[in-house]
Amino acid sequence: MPLDPLPADRLHTPCREADLPFETTAELPDQEDTVGQERAVEAVRFGIGIRADGYNIFAAGPQGTGKSSLVRQFIGRAAAAQPRPDDWCYVHNFDDPQRPRALRLPAGRGRAFQRAMERLVEELQAAIPAAFEADDYRARRQAIEDEFKERQERTFGEVQTKARARGVALVRTPVALALAPLKDGEVLSPDEFEKLSEDERADRKQAMEELQEDLQTRMREIPKWEKEQRERVRELDRDVTEYAVGHLIDDLRADYEDCPAVLAHLDTVRKNLVERVDQFLPESEELRQLPPQIRKQLGGNREETHEQYKVNVVIGRHENGGAPVVEEDHPSQPNLVGRIEHQQRYGALVTNFTLIRPGALHRANGGYLVLDARKLLMQPFAYEDLKRALRTREIRIEAPGASFGIFTTTSLEPEPIPLDVKVVLIGEPMVYYLLSHHDPEFRELFKVQADFDYRMHRRDDTTLALARLVGTMARRDGLRPLDRSAVARVIDHAARLADDSERLTTHMGSVADLVREADFWAGERGAEVVSRRDVQQAIDAKTYRTDRVREHIQEEFARGTLMVDTDGEKAGQINGLAVLQLGTFAFGRPSRITCRVRMGRGELVDIEREVGTGGELHTKGVLILSGFLAARFGQDGPLSVSASLVFEQSYGLIDGDSASCAELYALLSALADVPIRQGFAVTGSVNQFGEVQPIGGVNEKIEGFFDVCAARGLTGDQGVLIPASNVKNLMLRPDVVEAAAAGRFHIHAVSTVDEGIEILTGIPAGAPDDGAGWPTGSINRRVAARLAQWRRRALELSAAGSGRNGNGGRG
């Protein structure tokens, strides 16, 4: 006996306004906790609490389920209770300028140290020149120079005295010192020298040779004296510099006695200042007249030298307490691990430690870093460098791709900074599963999965929690409060979004959008409170904005362009239902499915598969039909049938097995030669035992066929067959429910193919009798009889063919 249609109260499970204990959401307290994500909440709490290596978090769930909000909420609480992490600075490495050193300072003191070093440089620029311009320095340096001159003059005087005693003069020339013969106190010219006697000339030559040797010996001492003089001047400069800068650096040391790394750096700065004090002294007039590039080569770049004493604070904490929480919206490799910038000077790109810029890992060090997984994976080298930082527990700043040997340009190699951070990746579940499957390191570095559900149980407590959340959304966005009727409609819509009357969606982004749009329509009519009509208008308006394609398809059904019958009876023809998803809007679309049968060799041809428009799941569904037929009607012999199935007027990919029930009904109708009522459409998949299985999009499918029937006129003989296991998913539109309540449209829930075929044909399917086969007049009896007839005919043809072949052989 055919099943009765579902009563109207099972087609939609509304939220009763009487069950909501408030008049408007203004009476409700804020909903601070996330609704319906107990599993994810526990995972996030665990991931934040455990401090072992590798226990970073991947928050996996559909977009809009509140992943980011929940993560922010829990991380914010945890960070507020944690101490501020240390500051980190980069300073010049005087031993190896290409490798800047990293200094750790207590939280909040990095900026102070930076300002102190800037003031030190300013004071040095004034104190050092003043010290070198002091009378004491000038006197001491003059004394050294006078001492050298006195020694030189004394030496030359001794040589000159010896020379005069032997008739030789010591003469100063523009080039050097020279010896010349002397007589009566006068230097002899070459002609006068030749007039001397031979003994006098010989005596003068011998004296000049001996004096020349003595003079050269003494001249060789002069470079040593000059070196000694320079060393004494340098020693004097060091003493003066130490006197000028020593007390300034000592004052700094007193402020950072608890920072050994800072003290070591200040000692290095003191030593370098003493050695490079000339960079703080005024340039000579001759040097100032030269072009900048030449001055830089001869005297060095004073600006760059002064920068060596500065401090680059890459991590400077503010006064407020707590660990940092950083959300990097653009997780490129430089934005994650930092970068080294360059400046153009004299036509060349140069850099130094002051141009080191921190990344998100630096800012989040000691706290939490939140990243979008998809954005991270889209950035070259970012994911690999993040894993390396987590694996080595240090932040190493380098050019993108440097670890792969792609870039070989010489640049700085800053000292790595130790890393202590909890990373939270947020993404779709598929991203999590793909990374888990293809990247073994991912499983070791992200051991905590916070799995966000797309739906929650519909109970009194969750319904009230969702109502409080709606009120919280309205208050936070400055919207009007919602009355209980509006909240009830929002909850109904949340169940519809979940495609389940016993569940509610956790896609809070959609709920928030609905609240905002309902507030807009309430404002349009000048209301102070949002009511059910405003929520319904928001739903209808959003549907209208997005259903242009659906409307066009419905028009084509009405005009007969798309051929679907909604009344009458035909054998081998049935209405199947599919769901089209266009962006965020989904709607049902009926399709005519036809089946043609003839005697054959047990072939079931899927035309969609043959032409390449059938997907794998659709092909699977058709093959299941073959198994069902063989098990039910092929026990006594092979099936001598050939059948073809096709979706009429389909011009794209057909996939999924939700039409397998409809295809089986069409096949049974064609085999039994029994017409199917065309006022019905069918959805559901079937297994090899003839059991009807649940499918998705049941609400959209029913409404899609209802719209076609309503456009042509509801006759009371129209409806949809759905799997019985899909009844719990029904949250139909009010107009569909009203038509079902009035008996103008029917929805039947079936559990087996036999139940469905009885409704569609009005003829019993028939259950097998003990040893007697199928009941007379049943659908199964008619199918079995026709298949048996074809089997006999096939045997007859086979026997006739064999006889002809045998006679031909004897002849």
Catalytic residue set:
658, 701
C-alpha 600/C-alpha 642 separation (Å) is 4
83 φ/ψ angles, rounded to the nearest 5 degrees: -70, 160
8 Å CB contact between 780 and 632: yes
Give the DSSP H or E segment for 510.
helix 508-524
Amino acid at 646: V
Helix, strand, coil percentages in the chain from 3-state DSSP, rounded to 5: 50, 15, 30
C-alpha 444/C-alpha 446 separation (Å) is 6
- Which stretches does DSSP call E strand in 583-713? 585-599, 603-606, 641-647, 676-677, 680-682, 685-686, 692-693
Residue bearing tokens 């209405």: 575
- Which stretches does DSSP call E strand in 676-784? 676-677, 680-682, 685-686, 692-693, 719-723, 746-750
Q: For the chain, how far is it from start to end, CA to CA, in angstroms?
A: 61
C-alpha 126/C-alpha 134 separation (Å) is 13
Nearest to 435 by CA among 482, 377, 381: 377
C-alpha 44/C-alpha 74 separation (Å) is 7
C-alpha 753/C-alpha 99 separation (Å) is 77
Burial state string for 334-345 with b = 16 or more CB within 10 A and e = fewer than 16: bbbbbbbeeeee
Nearest to 469 by CA among 509, 429, 424: 509
Give whole-number Cα distances, 792 to 635, 640, 642, 780, 802, in Å: 15, 9, 15, 18, 15
Nearest to 7 by CA among 754, 681, 495, 730: 730
Tokens in use for 350? 């140069």
C-alpha 600/C-alpha 109 separation (Å) is 90
Which residues, other chains included, contact 439 with Cβ-Cβ below 8 Å and sequence gap of 6+?
Answer: none
C-alpha 652/C-alpha 771 separation (Å) is 47
Residue bearing tokens 């039909």: 625
C-alpha 786/C-alpha 671 separation (Å) is 7
Burial state string for 170-191 with b = 16 or more CB within 10 A and e = fewer than 16: beeeeeebebbbbeeeeebeee
Contacts of 270-274 with C-beta under 8 Å, sequence gap 24+, read: 270/242, 270/245, 270/246, 271/94, 272/94, 272/308, 273/124, 273/241, 273/245, 273/309, 274/238, 274/241, 274/242, 274/245
Radius of gyration of the chain from its Cα atoms, rounded to whole angstroms: 48
Q: Which ranges in 256-351 belong to alpha helices (H)?
A: 260-275, 285-288, 292-299, 302-307, 333-337
